[in-house]
Chains A and B, each alone.
Chain A
Amino acid sequence: MAQKIVIDPVTRIEGHLKIEVEVDNGKVVDAKSSGTLFRGIELILKGRDPRDACHIVQRICGVCPIGHGTASMLCLDDAFGVKPPPNGRIVRNLIQGANYLQSHILHFYHLAALDYVKGPETSPFIPRYEGDYRLPKEINDKAVEHYIQALTIRKKAQEMLAIFGAKMPHVTVFTAGGVTEEVSAEKIAQFRQYLQEITSFVDNVYIPDVLAVAKAYGDDGFSIGTGCKNMLSYGAFRLTDEDDPDGQKQLFKRGCYANGQFAPVDKNKITEEVKYSWFEDSTTGRYPGEGATVPAPGKAGAYSWLKAPRYNGLPYEVGPLARQWVDKQKDVIGLGEKAFSVLGRHFARALETSQVAHAMFDWLDQLVPGKPAFAPFDVPKEGAGVGLHEAPRGALGHWIAIRDYRIDNYQAVVPTTWNGGPRDAKGQRGPIEEALVGAPVKDPNNPFELVRIVRSFDPCIACAVHVLEIKSVYKNAKSFII
């Protein structure tokens, strides 16, 4: 007899998420994930000054505002036909890099670690799901110390970011054509000091801790949460000022992987399906640039407010693992099939943190004090633009259409929609759902296995459910929240 387990809320993620699984004989046989907050940011954007988009969209998510701000700036650059000068491009990279460091360190220590590390016997570390804390006491105690130390390090990453970003979260220096902040020798030096300390933490504390967790949980961590094994990355961190329509001149290259094959990305193969989402069926299968969001609450069979993005008709996992895999990073590829797992994701994320930190030193050296970081532009009366980027959590695309100098349509397809979306018309589950199926559940009252799987994706629900337009009055609330 199958048993239903509902976890609502799933804490230690960004936003409001509910997970519902069916368990039979101690194993998950079916899974559904639902977001439970709606704001309608895209609707709010409509009719506003296009230049303001890169500020409003940062409020989609306070954990990764930089990802949204950057995708939006790329989208506006495209629509306005402007290219930032080298300093502008590099400062954007440094700001995004600092946010990667902050986000990944925060994710491992403050969002995910308490699934493996037993915290002190006090709030907010208790109550918790009991049953599977395996680290030897000595290592566990050290990890608790590192939890505290990581709070300081991630804070310093934010301060480092603010040197060029003005404030964090929600930087105000972002603009089409570059950034408003000037590059000075003093700022570069200040930034480098922060970067040295943070990089040392990443290499000497963060990576060893991830390896210690991997050792203690071993095959149990490398065998759960497999997912769909299709990987997608738009690529991020532009390394040159040359045009790069294929996204290959970036620290992380654009590409995808499915059925054992690597392939380039054709953005026109991106679609969003809505068969199991509360949206009108007539809007299904569209390219996001032509996307529409017409809600259909209570639609028979639907169970999510997330759409189901597909590439070439298949679900794809996005995030650090996808970036490292698509980039054929040898330590991750070297894991083979084991990479597609809860611990594989933590490992890829940690590795990537170190790569970004070291690359940032080079970028700092490339800045030229006193040169402009902004190129002027005109807002066109009509126009359209696309920004493809990698937020810390994965592939992020923004699409804008401008009419009469105003935003006519704005669409964002975000990492957690890729990872946390529902089934499509063919019945293919989204990556998180797929990763949950087959997972063992020892004790339904303490389903630590399930939250470990969900958290390994670092879901960000505020991002995923920003798109919703709510129009009518729903009598039966229950029918659309589940």
Chain B
Amino acid sequence: MGLTRREFIKLCMSSAVGASLLTVIGPDLEETLAFAADGKPPVIWIQGASCTGCSISLLNSVEPAIEKVLLDVISLRYHPNVMAGSGHLCAEILEEAASKYQDQFILVVEGGIPTKDKGVYCTIAEKNGKELTMLQAVTTLGKAAKAVIAAGSCASYGGIPGARPNPTGVVGVDQVVKQKPVINISNCPMHPDHFLGTVVYVLKYNQIPELDRYGRPKMFYPEPIHNNCYRRQYFDAGKFARYIGDEGCLAYLGCKGFVAMSDCNKRGWNNNVNWCIKAGAPCQACSEPTFPDESEPFYGVYPLTNKKGVTYPALEPNLKTEFVEHAKVKTS
């Protein structure tokens, strides 16, 4: 029966730099798929207050390639960007999911859920003149689903549309679906490996993976990025970048890698060609429930202490930050 659960999680967590998670568990995946072939599990993917970025990110999956996922792994019954049908055909699919496939389908929610004024700020379908709000859809489908996945930081915690002053009362899925644990795949956008790894886990072991206190699969959000950062050496040596493009740890440019619990440092993005800190861009901690309000200003900094116990004082998130001054000295 291939990998044990322990081995699976170990693989997920230890995926070497340069190797996508699902390349490593490829052979095992084939087995899972063969098992699921006679009646691929239906997946219903709905979008609320979203930017579609998580769907786009899913399409960026490297292994398994998205075409394999769509054709062989799951039966994607509903996805607003992908499905062929429009209009009343859509409302009918949603109705069918809730009744015919009760406790069989996986519900994926992308985007936050506007709750203010009974959720009227987002309607997702209409049939016979009756509109379906995102809030109603998540409530109904969430009850009927076998598992519920919140794809991305908006669906997990409210994210950008839920940022202050939160004009439409956006909340994460777990504030609406209370009957069962919601699996949060945070990051803005979500990482395709995190999502597909979780889906494969649920299909293979028929249960949800172990979650951390913010509802995320522990295997993908193991520790702060800072612990094993690409630029960690600089931090310990006290070498800090003073302006954009400078060599060093990005802490003084506003990097939030020491609170961001995501494995970007191991997995990278887009087939691991790059990721934020490697590219000289301070981490915005987009994986955290505090994103974006507590990450702001993105170029503001926290107090830090390095391994030798040396504390670097907090820079005031003053708009005329120090790095600007340093950069001027450097270039003039």
Closest to B43 in A: A123
Q: Is A3 an interface residue (CB 8 A)?
A: no
- Which among A55, A162, A166, A480 has the highest number of chain B CB atoms within 10 Å? A166
Q: Are A165 and B51 in contact (CB under 8 A)?
A: no
- Alpha-carbon distance A99/B82, docked complex (angstroms): 19
Q: Are A168 and B117 in contact (CB under 8 A)?
A: no
Q: Is A158 an interface residue (CB 8 A)?
A: yes
Stretch at the interface among A237-245, A310-318, A359-367, A466-474: A466-474
Q: Are B280 and A52 in contact (CB under 8 A)?
A: no
Q: Are B52 and A15 in contact (CB under 8 A)?
A: yes
- Alpha-carbon distance A155/B284, docked complex (angstroms): 24
- Alpha-carbon distance A8/B131, docked complex (angstroms): 9
**Given A148-B67, A155-B66: A38 touches B270 (CB 8 Å cut-off):** no
Chain B residues with CB under 8 A of A123: 42, 75-77, 83
Chain B residues with CB under 8 A of A175: 244
Q: Are A151 and B49 in contact (CB under 8 A)?
A: no
**Given A41-B160, A61-B51, A124-B77: A180 touches B244 (CB 8 Å cut-off):** yes
Q: Are B51 and A126 in contact (CB under 8 A)?
A: no
Q: Are A405 and B319 in contact (CB under 8 A)?
A: yes
Find B324's partner among A39, A49, A378 (CB 8 Å cutoff).
Answer: A378
- Which among B50, B125, B129, B244 has the highest number of chain A CB atoms within 10 Å? B244
- CB of A390, distance to nearest CB on chain B (Å): 19
Find B125's partner among A9, A373, A469, A473 (CB 8 Å cutoff).
Answer: A9
Chain A residues with CB under 8 A of B167: 38-40, 43-44, 468-470
Q: Are B122 and A182 in contact (CB under 8 A)?
A: no
Instruction: Report whether over half of chain B's contact residues are helix, strand or loop; otherwise say mixed.
Output: loop
Chain B residues with CB under 8 A of A40: 161, 167-168
- Alpha-carbon distance A164/B167, docked complex (angstroms): 34
- CB of B191, distance to nearest CB on chain A (Å): 9
Q: Are B160 and A56 in contact (CB under 8 A)?
A: yes
Q: Are B123 and A470 in contact (CB under 8 A)?
A: no
Chain A residues with CB under 8 A of B188: 59, 170
- Alpha-carbon distance A30/B59, docked complex (angstroms): 37
Q: Are B86 and A462 in contact (CB under 8 A)?
A: no
- CB of B306, distance to nearest CB on chain A (Å): 23
Q: Are A9 and B90 in contact (CB under 8 A)?
A: yes
Find B279's partner among A7, A151, A173, A377 (CB 8 Å cutoff).
Answer: A173
**Count of A-B residue pairs with CB < 8 Å:** 292
Q: Are A169 and B82 in contact (CB under 8 A)?
A: no
Q: Are A49 and B60 in contact (CB under 8 A)?
A: no
Closest to A126 in B: B84
Give B261-282 interface residues, CB cut-off 8 Å to A. 269-271, 273-276, 278-282
- How many A residues, CB 8 Å from partner? 95
Closest to A455 in B: B86
Chain A residues with CB under 8 A of B330: 376
Q: Are B66 and A151 in contact (CB under 8 A)?
A: yes
Stretch at the interface among B3-11, B29-37, B220-228, B293-301: B293-301
What 1/0 mask marks residues of chain B from 46 to 62 whose CB sits below 8 Å from any chain A CB?
A: 01111111111101111
Q: Are B245 and A180 in contact (CB under 8 A)?
A: yes
**Given A51-B298, A405-B319: A124 touches B284 (CB 8 Å cut-off):** no
Chain B residues with CB under 8 A of A469: 167
Q: Are A166 and B275 in contact (CB under 8 A)?
A: yes
Q: Is A62 an interface residue (CB 8 A)?
A: yes
Chain A residues with CB under 8 A of B245: 180, 182, 372-374
- CB of B283, distance to nearest CB on chain A (Å): 8
- Alpha-carbon distance A65/B125, docked complex (angstroms): 25
Q: Is B202 an interface residue (CB 8 A)?
A: no
Q: Are B52 and A63 in contact (CB under 8 A)?
A: yes
- Alpha-carbon distance A43/B165, docked complex (angstroms): 8
- CB of B206, distance to nearest CB on chain A (Å): 22
Q: Is A262 an interface residue (CB 8 A)?
A: no
Closest to B317 in A: A49
Q: Are B123 and A60 in contact (CB under 8 A)?
A: no
Q: Are B324 and A376 in contact (CB under 8 A)?
A: yes
- Alpha-carbon distance A381/B100, docked complex (angstroms): 60
- Alpha-carbon distance A129/B70, docked complex (angstroms): 20
- How many B residues, CB 8 Å from partner? 94
**Given A7-B87, A148-B67: A462 touches B270 (CB 8 Å cut-off):** no
Q: Are A161 and B51 in contact (CB under 8 A)?
A: no
Q: Are B281 and A6 in contact (CB under 8 A)?
A: no
Give A1-40 interface residues, CB cut-off 8 Å to B. 6-16, 18, 36-40
Q: Are A111 and B117 in contact (CB under 8 A)?
A: no
Closest to B75 in A: A123
**Given A62-B51, A155-B60, A158-B60: A37 touches B189 (CB 8 Å cut-off):** no
Find A474's partner among B76, B85, B117 (CB 8 Å cutoff).
Answer: B117
Closest to B77 in A: A123
Q: Are A168 and B270 in contact (CB under 8 A)?
A: yes
- Alpha-carbon distance A478/B274, docked complex (angstroms): 46
Q: Are A180 and B85 in contact (CB under 8 A)?
A: no
Q: Are B279 and A180 in contact (CB under 8 A)?
A: yes
Q: Is A142 an interface residue (CB 8 A)?
A: no
Q: Is B178 an interface residue (CB 8 A)?
A: no
Q: Are B284 and A172 in contact (CB under 8 A)?
A: yes
Q: Is B89 an interface residue (CB 8 A)?
A: yes
Q: Is A204 an interface residue (CB 8 A)?
A: no
Chain B residues with CB under 8 A of A41: 160-161
Q: Is A215 an interface residue (CB 8 A)?
A: no
Q: Is A159 an interface residue (CB 8 A)?
A: yes
- Alpha-carbon distance A190/B278, docked complex (angstroms): 16
Chain A residues with CB under 8 A of B124: 9, 16, 36
- Alpha-carbon distance A78/B176, docked complex (angstroms): 43
Chain B residues with CB under 8 A of A37: 48-49, 121-123
Chain A residues with CB under 8 A of B180: none
Q: Are A167 and B269 in contact (CB under 8 A)?
A: yes
Chain B residues with CB under 8 A of A478: 131
Q: Are A462 and B189 in contact (CB under 8 A)?
A: no
Chain A residues with CB under 8 A of B163: 44, 56
- CB of B225, distance to nearest CB on chain A (Å): 13
Give B62-76 interface residues, CB cut-off 8 Å to A. 62, 65-67, 70-71, 75-76
Q: Is B126 an interface residue (CB 8 A)?
A: yes
Q: Are A172 and B87 in contact (CB under 8 A)?
A: no
Find A376's partner among B70, B278, B331 (CB 8 Å cutoff).
Answer: B331
What 1/0 mask marks residues of chain A from 353 to 397 whose CB sits below 8 Å from any chain B CB?
A: 000000000000000000011111111000000000000000000
- CB of B7, distance to nearest CB on chain A (Å): 28
Q: Is A114 an interface residue (CB 8 A)?
A: yes
Chain B residues with CB under 8 A of A151: 59, 65-67
Q: Is A137 an interface residue (CB 8 A)?
A: no
- Alpha-carbon distance A409/B319, docked complex (angstroms): 17
Instruction: Contacts A39-B161, A181-B274 known; list 4 others, CB within 8 Å.
Output: A39-B167, A151-B66, A155-B65, A469-B167
Q: What are 23 inter-chain pairs, A to B, with CB distance below 8 A?
A: A9-B124, A10-B86, A13-B81, A16-B80, A16-B123, A37-B49, A39-B168, A44-B161, A48-B297, A49-B297, A51-B299, A52-B299, A55-B284, A60-B51, A61-B53, A124-B79, A155-B59, A158-B270, A163-B274, A178-B244, A181-B281, A378-B320, A462-B51
Mark B residues whose CB is within 8 Å of A: 42, 47-57, 59-62, 65-67, 70-71, 75-87, 89-90, 93, 114, 116-118, 120-126, 129, 131, 159-161, 163-168, 170, 188-189, 243-245, 269-271, 273-276, 278-284, 286, 292, 296-300, 317, 319-320, 324, 327-328, 330-331
